[in-house]
Each structure stands twice: as structure tokens, then as C-alpha cells.
Amino acid sequence: MGERYAKIVGWGKYVPERVLSNHDLEQMVDTSDEWITTRTGIKERRIRGPDDTTSSMAVEASKRALEVAGLSPKDIDLIIVATSSPDYLLPSVASIVQDKLGARCGAYTLVAACSGWVYALVDAHQYIANGAYDTILVVGSEIISFAVDYTDRTTCVLFGDGAAAVVLQASEEPAGVLSFELGSDGSGAEFLYVPGCGSANPLNEHTFERREQFIRMNGPEVFKFAVRIIASSLKRVIGKAGLLPDDIALFIPHQANARIIEAAARFMHQPMEKFYINLDRYGNTSAASVPLALVEALEEGRCKPGDKVAMVAFGAGLTWAAAVVQLGTGELSPAYQFFSLGRARYLAKKAAYAVQDAAQAALLPLYTFVQRRGRRKRRRK
Ligand code: UT7
């Protein structure tokens, strides 16, 4: 079987209509547009409407991604939804998405906080590269606002809701994930966490009183970690792909804070224009952040077929994930696809073995007869 790559063939996004601006936040907590803009770069973020759920937003983004790919939900072999804000603790939100989409395939939810979608992309790449599946939907969807304390100015200005999805499909064209790195340092768990809600500290009147159902964050610690990890992990994955930072057409960083991205760009000796930013409009959408940036970069033509893009995410855990991804150079002819796709090759090989087996079975009596006659002749001599 030739090498199989997981090419991006479809992409789509969904963001709620409701905009929460810095000026709106000025009315809610002791903050200012000036502080938020200069310390983070964020101007506004989207907040879920009454009908938005993590699954409904994931479904909208996925429908668009399937449209771009020219595929139907029945073509999907697997759905992975990265989120930290599922509809329910159970069932997995990925199963809700699978049902609402009308897909017939396996589905699972992946939790790695803001790094989740890049983790999911790497998972999908493995299934396709090893021949297990041909078409995988990778979604990042978050209603992270449900875990935000709108009385805490140190966190409530940062986060927003959104969703984005990408369809990956098997291809022999060198495209998709060229290299990756997944990381975790759980010793930093308390720098960014939700103390209540989980089995260790279930929700009750005391956890409610202490507002432990909401995100707590040590901003400066996460900031230092982020600056260090973005530049170092990007350098490593770019090296693993046999490339140099100059070979990367566009960097797609997690959209947490423009100052973090600027610092990383300096460490990388790369111009800021090569770093895609949409956090001014959406804030930090957690696991939806990197795919939302990727989808908008594709929609705006900021990256084109054949380009190599480098993605990097970081977040609670602490976790991080980076990947170099090459964009496909366009559709291959159906005939080429038929002969190059692993499954077609496998079927062709299987058919060839079947013919061989049949031929052997048919020739076996003749072979045995010739062998026996040879032995008899030898004995007579
Ligand atoms: O997906 C991962 C998610 N998390 C992150 O990426 C967060 C990374 N960290 C950050 O982005 C930054 O640390 C923050 C934006 C969260 C904070 O910026 P900072 O420059 O690190 O500020 P700070 O926490 O050191 O606080 C500086 C001052 C403090 O006042 P005092 O103690 O100096 O009087 C804060 O109370 O700014 C104050 N402050 C605010 N003032 C106005 C904190 N939040 C606000 C606010 N408005 N919203």
C-alpha cells in the first residue's frame, strides 16, 4: 500500500449571532475597552443564542464543511468532536452530532482543553494514514461562556463561543499532517481549571457558593507557559517535517492573546503578518479557536493549495499540540483516486490473490500428477 495522507477537503464554521463587545463588558465588570484591547487584542466575542448548543453549532459548521467537500453525512467514516463544554456529561456530544447530522459512523468526544482540536486532527490523520478510515470529520465546538464567571474581570473578557469543522480524506498526494507534537504537563493543572462540576468535587450548594463551577486561571503563569511552548513546539514540528520556519506560508496559533502571539513571532524570527489572527472578533474559543482561524484563513485566501501551514494550540492541562499541515493541490481525477486510494488497492490486491488461489486450486491436480510421475521415473532408474 502506498503512503496515505489525510488531505483537508472541506471546512466550515458557525459562530453565534450575539456579539459581546468590550464596551458591553465595561457595563458588567470593572474593566475598559482600552485595558482589554492593549492587554489581549480582543475587541469582541460571540456568545451563544437561546437555540445554540455545542452540538447544534458543531452540526452547522460540519454541514458547511461537507458542502465544501461535496460529501454527504453518509460518506463520513468517523466523527471526532473536540470540546470542553459538551451538551451533557453523558452522552458524548459527538454521538449527538452524529445523530443530528444523519451520519452512520463511530463518534467520540476528545477533551484536551484548547489543544483539543489539534489533538483530534492528529488522531484523524493516524486513522487515515494506517488505512482504517477514508473520510473523517474533525470538529471543534465550544459554548465556553457557560463556564465563565461574568463577575470575574480577569477571565470573562477573554472567552467566546464558536465552532469550526474540517473534513479529512485519504489521498496519496503528500498533504495533510506532515508532522506533529502532542504535549501535556499536568503539574500546571491548577493554573487553569474549573474546580467544581467533576467527580472529585461534585456540584452542590457549597461549590455553588464558592463559584467553583466557573473557570479559574492564573493568567501570568499561563502566559509564560504559552509564549515558551508556542515557539519551541512550532520549531520542533517544523524541523520534524524537514522544513524551516521560512517554508511555512501561514502560522495558525491558538487565539488567546495577541501579545502571546507577538512574543512567539519574535522568538521564531517571523513577521507578524504570517500569524493569522481573528481573536479581535472572537476572543478565545478554546478547542474551536485553531479550526476557526484555519477556516477563516482558507475562506479569505490567506493560504492556498500546496501551502504548508503550522498550527499550535495550548491550554488547560496544561496541554499543547502543534502540527505542520500541507494543503492539498486540488482534486485528483476520479480514475487516479480509484487506483491510488488504499482501499481500492486493497480490493484490487484481494481480487488478485483470489485469482491466484483459484488458479492454484485448478492446477494442483496437474502439479501433483507431474510430481508423482517424476518420482516414479526416478525410482525406476
Ligand atoms: O487557552 C488558554 C487560555 N488562557 C490564556 O491564554 C491566558 C494567558 N494570560 C493572559 O492572556 C494574560 O495573563 C491576561 C490577559 C489574562 C492578563 O494580562 P496580564 O498582563 O498578565 O495582567 P495581570 O494578570 O498581571 O494583571 C495586571 C493588572 C492587575 O491589577 P493590579 O493588581 O496590577 O492592580 C489586574 O487586576 O490588571 C488587572 N486586570 C484588569 N484590569 C482591567 C486584570 N484583568 C483586568 C481587566 N480589566 N479585565
Q: Is the CB of 224 under 6 A from ligand 1?
A: no
Q: Cell numbers of 204, please?
A: 452542590
How far apart are the C-alpha atoms of 41 and 33, rounded to whole Å?
10
Q: What are phi and psi of 213, to 5 degrees?
A: -85, 0
Residue nearest (by alpha carbon) to ligand 1 atom 44: 154
**Hey, how many other C-beta atoms are within 10 angstroms of the C-beta on 305?**
11
274 is written with which cell numbers? Answer: 504570517
CA pair distance 173, 160, nearest whole angstrom: 36
What pLDDT shows up at residue 353? 46
| pLDDT in the model for residue 235 | 96
How many angstroms separate the CA atoms of 95 and 101, rounded? 10
Q: Is the CB of 150 under 6 A from ligand 1?
A: no
Question: Which three-class secondary structure state does DSSP give residue 110?
Answer: strand
Atom index in ligand 1 nearest the CA of residue 25 equals 48
Q: How far is the CA of 155 from the centre of ligand 1 (A)?
A: 8
Q: Would the CB of 223 count as within 6 Å of ligand 1?
A: yes
Cell of 261: 502571539
**Residue of 10, 322, 1, 240 lying closest to 130 (CA atoms):** 1
Q: Can you give 157-208 as a three-state secondary structure string?
A: CCECCEEEEEEEEEECCCCEEEEEEEEECHHHHHHEECCCCCCCCCCCHHHH
- Contacts of residue 238, Cβ cutoff 8 Å, sequence gap at least 6: 179, 244, 245, 247, 248, 310, 324
Which are the catalytic amino acids? Answer: 114, 254, 284
For the chain, count helices (H), then strands (E).
Answer: 13, 13
DSSP label at 250?
A: E
Q: What crossing angle do the helices spanning 93-101 and 54-69 adopt, rounded to 10°?
A: 50
Q: Which residue lies with its CA nearest to atom 36 of ligand 1?
A: 154
Q: What pLDDT does 339 receive? A: 39
Is the distance from CB of 125 to CB of 6 less than 8 angstroms? yes
Q: Which of 100, 49, 58 is nearest to 80 (CA)?
A: 58
- 258 CB near ligand 1 (under 6 Å): no
From first to last of the 381 residues of the chain, give the pLDDT tens digit: 578 999 999 999 999 999 999 999 999 999 999 999 999 999 999 999 999 999 999 999 999 999 999 999 999 999 999 999 999 999 999 999 999 999 999 999 999 999 999 999 999 999 999 999 999 999 999 999 999 999 999 999 999 999 999 999 999 888 999 999 999 999 999 999 999 989 999 989 999 999 999 999 999 999 999 999 999 999 999 999 999 999 999 999 999 999 999 999 999 999 999 999 999 999 999 999 999 999 999 999 999 889 999 999 999 999 999 999 999 876 443 433 443 344 454 345 446 645 655 676 677 667 666 766 776 777 776
Contact 252, 293 (CB under 8 A): yes
CB-count burial class (<10 Å; 0-12, 13-18, 19+) for 2: exposed
* Beta carbon of 148 within 6 Å of any ligand 1 atom: no
CA of 323 to the centre of ligand 1 (A): 28
Residues 54, 87 contacting (CB under 8 angstroms): yes
pTM listed for this prediction: 0.86
> Is 157 touching ligand 1 by the criterion CB < 6 Å?
yes
CB of 285 closer than 6 angstroms to any ligand 1 atom: no
Supply the pLDDT for residue 380: 74
The predicted pLDDT at position 349 comes to: 46
Identify the pLDDT of residue 352: 61
Q: 151: CA distance to ligand 1 center in Å? A: 14
Ligand 1 centre and the CA of 31: distance in Å?
Answer: 11
Domains, the chain, ranges and CATH?
5-176 (3.40.47.10), 179-380 (3.40.47.10)
CA distances to 44, 50, 166, 223, 266 from 233, in Å:
29, 39, 23, 15, 14
Q: Among 94, 91, 36, which Cα is nearest to 257's? A: 36
**Mutation probe of ligand 1 site: the residue of 191, 223, 228, 260 with most atoms within 8 A of C-beta:** 223
The x, y and z cell numbers of residue 269, run together, are 524570527
Using the mean position of ligand 1's atoms as its centre, give its distance from the Cα of residue 35 in Å: 9
